[in-house]
């Protein structure tokens, strides 16, 4: 039986098939919208910010990312080399580097039958219950073949979806609490958590687990970035409302981490 506070990996292992015990999961699902609102109330309280409606951005061009070989690097050597960078090369991020970074940090690792579908994607960065609970966005200042703007990464098709072609530099100065990152980072990657996806299945305490999911992805971004010769820094110091506005997030999606990146100096 999956308890209300329980973890849904048992269901994932059964290929998404329900058992009698899953009645409890259905109850949680019915309650999902209410739990999402409660989580948003906690989130705003923690950030001392009230709700400011953000203008949604509509999907534009889809930009396929090139196929790439995985970086060849020793795991322990990469762990030992990894640093939070202050110095970034003053040049655009190569498209192949960007493609490899996204593919091997937060791309799809495999598909499994789960949650009522035969091919449910599981990420290179594991999430609680294998839920599709995280999204990755890019605010591009300078990258090869990309117009400065905002993009959403689509892991299954390994594409970027263009959301805005407004240069994000001005907005990023209000996003980073340390604006010195703005001119250094060629791209800023934002991880977000999808509250509706999470609270359709889990109770309110899963608000914490979503941040653990993000932390797992952060370490992937650091390690794959290091293996690719990138300069990276996880940045928790950001303004939630300003970042949500830049990305045009729906109310049920919250930014969890920002990541400055470029080529190493």
CB 223 within 8 A of CB 82: yes
- Smallest gap from residue 178 Cβ to ligand FMN (A): 6
Within 106-224, strands assigned E span 108-114, 117-123, 134-140, 149-154, 159-164, 187-194
- Smallest gap from residue 49 Cβ to ligand FMN (A): 17
- Smallest gap from residue 58 Cβ to ligand FMN (A): 31
Chain-centroid distance of CA 76 in Å reads: 25
The whole-angstrom separation of Cα 252 and Cα 15 is: 27
- Smallest gap from residue 233 Cβ to ligand FMN (A): 5
Q: Which residues bind ligand FMN (CB under 6 A)?
A: 83-84, 178, 218, 233-237
Radius of gyration of the chain (CA): 19
Strand pairing class (149-154; 62-64): unpaired
34 vs 83, which CB is nearer to ligand FMN? Answer: 83
- Smallest gap from residue 205 Cβ to ligand FMN (A): 20
Distances (CA, A) of 223 to 3, 71, 81, 102: 35, 11, 9, 12
| Phi/psi of residue 170, nearest 5 degrees | -65, -50
199 vs 259, which CB is nearer to ligand FMN? Answer: 259
Helices 32-47 & 240-247, crossing angle to 10 degrees? 130
146 vs 210, which CB is nearer to ligand FMN? Answer: 210
The whole-angstrom separation of Cα 204 and Cα 4 is: 10
- Smallest gap from residue 31 Cβ to ligand FMN (A): 30
The whole-angstrom separation of Cα 214 and Cα 253 is: 13
55 vs 76, which CB is nearer to ligand FMN? Answer: 76
- Smallest gap from residue 225 Cβ to ligand FMN (A): 11
98 vs 232, which CB is nearer to ligand FMN? Answer: 232
114 vs 218, which CB is nearer to ligand FMN? Answer: 218
Chain-centroid distance of CA 68 in Å reads: 21
23 vs 87, which CB is nearer to ligand FMN? Answer: 87
Chain-centroid distance of CA 252 in Å reads: 14
């Amino acid at each position: 039986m999956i308890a209300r506070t329980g973890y849904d990996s048992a269901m994932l292992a059964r290929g998404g098939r329900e058992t009698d015990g899953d009645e409890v999961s259905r109850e949680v699902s019915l309650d999902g919208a209410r739990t999402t609102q409660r989580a948003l109330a906690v989130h705003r309280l923690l950030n001392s910010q009230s709700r400011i409606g953000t203008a949604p951005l509509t999907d534009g061009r889809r930009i396929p990312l090139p196929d790439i070989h995985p970086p060849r690097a020793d795991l322990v050597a990469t762990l030992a080399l990894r640093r939070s960078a202050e110095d970034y090369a003053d040049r655009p991020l190569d498209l192949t580097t960007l493609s490899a970074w996204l593919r091997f940090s937060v791309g799809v690792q495999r598909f499994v039958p789960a949650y009522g579908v035969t091919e449910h994607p599981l990420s290179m960065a594991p999430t609680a219950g294998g839920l599709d609970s995280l999204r990755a966005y890019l605010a591009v200042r300078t990258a090869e073949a990309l117009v400065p703007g905002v993009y959403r990464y689509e892991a299954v098709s390994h594409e970027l979806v263009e959301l805005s072609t407004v240069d994000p530099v001005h907005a990023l100065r209000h996003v980073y609490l340390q604006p010195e990152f703005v001119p250094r980072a060629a791209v800023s990657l934002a991880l977000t958590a999808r509250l509706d996806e999470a609270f359709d299945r889990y109770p309110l305490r899963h608000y914490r687990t979503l941040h653990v999911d993000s932390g797992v992805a952060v370490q992937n971004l650091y390690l794959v970035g290091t293996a690719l010769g990138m300069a990276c820094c996880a940045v928790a110091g950001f303004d939630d409302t300003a970042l949500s506005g830049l990305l045009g997030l729906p109310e049920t999606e919250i930014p969890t981490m920002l990541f400055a990146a470029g080529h190493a100096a």
